[in-house]
Amino acid sequence: MTLKRVLLCGLACALIVLACGPMFREAVFTYTSYPRYPERNFASGELGIVYPTFWRKFLVVAWRNIEGPPLTAAEQRAFIEGPPRNPWQRTLWKNVRTERELPGGNFQSFVNCGEDAFRRAEEKLAELKRQFGDTHAGVKSWLQAQDTVFSNCEGGEKIPQAIEPGQPTALARERQYQIAAANFYAMKYDIAELQFRGLGDSYLVARCLIRRGTIGPLNRQDLQNAERELRKLGDPPLLGFIASKLRPEEHRIELAKRLNDPKQEAAFAQSLTDYTWLLDRETASFSGDEMTEWIDAVQSGRGEPVERWKRTHKPVWLLAALLHAQPGVQQNAELLEAARSVPASSPAYATARYHRVRLLLASADRVRARKELDEILKQTLPVSAVNAFKAQRMQVAENVAEWVAFAPRQPVAWYYYGEYEAGQEDLPAVLFDSDAALQANRGLPLSLLQRAAAETQLPAALREQLGTVTRTRRILLSGGSYDEIYQVLRTPSMTPYVTAGINRRDAAPTAIDNYRANWWCAWTKDEKTAIPMWLPGAAKAEAAKELAALQAMPSAPTWLARRAVQLANAAPQDPRNAELLHLAVRATRYGCTDDANSAASKAAFQVLHRRYPKSEWARKTPYSF
């Protein structure tokens, strides 16, 4: 029967699939890359706190809302939706690849056939069918020739044959277009240019010149010639493209002007895209227009924002100055005063106040900071800004009740693969952010954490988390009784740490977490304490002493395995000993390990097998780890 069980067990084990995903969504409390309040609120002037790390297109919108005029409704829509996109999809030539590798062996490809080319070809075919009928030989011939044209998209130099004699003039002209287009896609731009000139098509002549001038090293002459051709046609969008290549700085200044002119609202989305693209170039100069200089000042502190503010008294420059103001500088007094006078109705309010409080805190003016923060938090602000102000308010808490009031935060989004996710339905209502977790883990003594856990104003989920943390930390600091160690070993989720954001994802508290969030890691020794300023002297000493004791301890599995051996030795008659030792070995497998893990695992394993060799628990423990 034993053999049967062993074989069945072996087969079952062979079928086990470890379900384990490595990518995690992290809870976000404050938007620092780009705001999603959602965007329409930001576009309409609800800026919240503007960060130097915001993407530039958001800084443009911030500028417009603070400096004025605010975005028109059409501009707001254009900002949110971006440049118009053509939802068209190919029905013919579906499998034609659009990219072609450049000659020269530099592994560089370019989009040779744009989607628009396929759309126009399909429209042309429909037109010809309407004109001549589906079965007309000339239409069929046109289609074959077009296949040849598009065969050059990915590579090759195939040219359609001249049209058969006797076909209608319209089809003959179409064939000339097809021959020129085939040369264009075959990268024979000189020939294509001549052929399009022959057809009198300035736009396509310009396309040949632009392609020849931009594929590979920039050819200014070609682009200038293309510009001349296009000017014959008025002001087509391609002129902007040429300007961005020939005169990038001049064009960027022109775009900045358009972005500040509500009369140009129809071009807002495209102008914004082109403008930020030009600023993304490594050689961009960030000078020549005030908005660009402001963006540079916000991002880097360059351009003497304090002087600009003093000269102009504009709120935009006040913000740029405040963003980079360092504590202890004499001119801060003026900045602080100006920041205080920004009204709550201003789009600049939250940013100005945030930095005013930051400077007050740096100058240890805690009383004023506290008073102002309480006023600010009465305003209606985006949740992201509220979280930032709560973080400041927590710094000037006066007692544990205030700490409990400002430590919990409402997450605003999930962060996943470099982006804030749109779907927020499964966001927890409230969590601890990293500043609160840091203080709880490296600054608050156990006695105060226990008081915090008992505060009824703390949301239930966080009270439960703090309850587990304090229970575990007390066990850790006291050494833990038999019952307590037994309980910790049966509960992989128990931890003495407060977690910033989400800790264990899906596993039940008593289940092993597949992502290894089981039994905690050792306290890092190289990090400083984070003792809150409001702590009384005795509590500070208590916190420092506890932290030193915790930092001297190994990771949980090592500590628990050692304790299990000690307890089993001390109580040899306890009927739970075998299970206790088994659980200790299990913890060394699934928990957070350290250098001493293997030795502790082996010691527990040996005691288990020496003392209780025939027990069920010894059988369940074939290895140490």
Judged by the rule CB under 8 A, the positions of this chain that interact with other proteins are 3-4, 7-8, 10-11, 14, 17-24, 97, 99, 101-102, 105-110, 417, 515-517, 521, 524, 592-595
574 vs 527: CA distance, rounded Å: 40
Q: Please say which residue, 304 or 594, places its beta carbon nearer to other proteins.
A: 594
204 vs 180: CA distance, rounded Å: 10
515 vs 20: CA distance, rounded Å: 7
**Alpha-carbon 502 to chain mean position:** 17
Q: Please say which residue, 122 or 594, places its beta carbon nearer to other proteins.
A: 594
CB 486 within 8 A of CB 473: no
Q: Please say which residue, 374 or 419, places its beta carbon nearer to other proteins.
A: 419
In the beta sheet, which residues pair with residue 408? 432
Q: Please say which residue, 375 or 506, places its beta carbon nearer to other proteins.
A: 506
Q: Please say which residue, 22 or 84, places its beta carbon nearer to other proteins.
A: 22
Work out how close the CB of 595 gets to other proteins at its nearest, in angstroms, rounded to a whole number: 6
Report the candidate in 566, 570, 552, 573 with the shortest Cα–Cα distance to residue 600. Answer: 566
85 vs 105: CA distance, rounded Å: 33
Work out how close the CB of 277 gets to other proteins at its nearest, in angstroms, rounded to a whole number: 14
Helix orientation angle between 115-132 and 137-151, rounded to the nearest 10 degrees? 170
Work out how close the CB of 82 gets to other proteins at its nearest, in angstroms, rounded to a whole number: 18
* DSSP SS3 for 90: coil
Q: Please say which residue, 10 or 82, places its beta carbon nearer to other proteins.
A: 10
Work out how close the CB of 113 gets to other proteins at its nearest, in angstroms, rounded to a whole number: 13
* DSSP SS3 for 390: helix
* Preceding amide of 160 cis, omega within 30: no
331 vs 344: CA distance, rounded Å: 24
Left if phi > 0, otherwise alpha if psi is -120 to 50, otherwise beta: which for 589? alpha
Work out how close the CB of 215 gets to other proteins at its nearest, in angstroms, rounded to a whole number: 11
Work out how close the CB of 15 gets to other proteins at its nearest, in angstroms, rounded to a whole number: 8
Q: Please say which residue, 103 or 536, places its beta carbon nearer to other proteins.
A: 103
Sign of CA pseudo-dihedral 194, 199, 202, 203: negative
Q: In terms of DSSP H, where are the helices of 68-201? A: 73-81, 115-132, 137-151, 169-185, 189-198
The CA–CA distances, whole Å, from 182 to 91, 118, 158, 462, 531 equal: 20, 13, 7, 67, 73
Q: Please say which residue, 2 or 345, places its beta carbon nearer to other proteins.
A: 2
Work out how close the CB of 591 gets to other proteins at its nearest, in angstroms, rounded to a whole number: 10
CB 591 within 8 A of CB 490: no
Q: Please say which residue, 8 or 333, places its beta carbon nearer to other proteins.
A: 8
Work out how close the CB of 115 gets to other proteins at its nearest, in angstroms, rounded to a whole number: 12
Q: C-alpha angle 283/287/293, rounded to 5°? A: 115
DSSP 53: T
Q: Give me the amino acid identity at 615.
A: S
Q: How many residues does the chain have?
A: 625
Work out how close the CB of 22 gets to other proteins at its nearest, in angstroms, rounded to a whole number: 4
Work out how close the CB of 593 gets to other proteins at its nearest, in angstroms, rounded to a whole number: 7
Residue with tokens 């239409």: 139
Helix orientation angle between 597-611 and 556-570, rounded to the nearest 10 degrees? 30
Q: Please say which residue, 107 or 623, places its beta carbon nearer to other proteins.
A: 107
Work out how close the CB of 522 gets to other proteins at its nearest, in angstroms, rounded to a whole number: 9
* DSSP SS3 for 99: strand
Q: Please say which residue, 216 or 536, places its beta carbon nearer to other proteins.
A: 216
Work out how close the CB of 288 gets to other proteins at its nearest, in angstroms, rounded to a whole number: 26
Rg (the chain; Cα; Å): 35
Q: Please say which residue, 281 or 619, places its beta carbon nearer to other proteins.
A: 281
Q: Please say which residue, 295 or 592, places its beta carbon nearer to other proteins.
A: 592
Work out how close the CB of 24 gets to other proteins at its nearest, in angstroms, rounded to a whole number: 5
Residue 333 corresponds to which tokens in the numbers above? 């007094």
Q: Give me the amino acid identity at 392.
A: Q
- Dihedral of the alpha carbons of 45, 48, 54, 56, in degrees to the nearest 10: 10
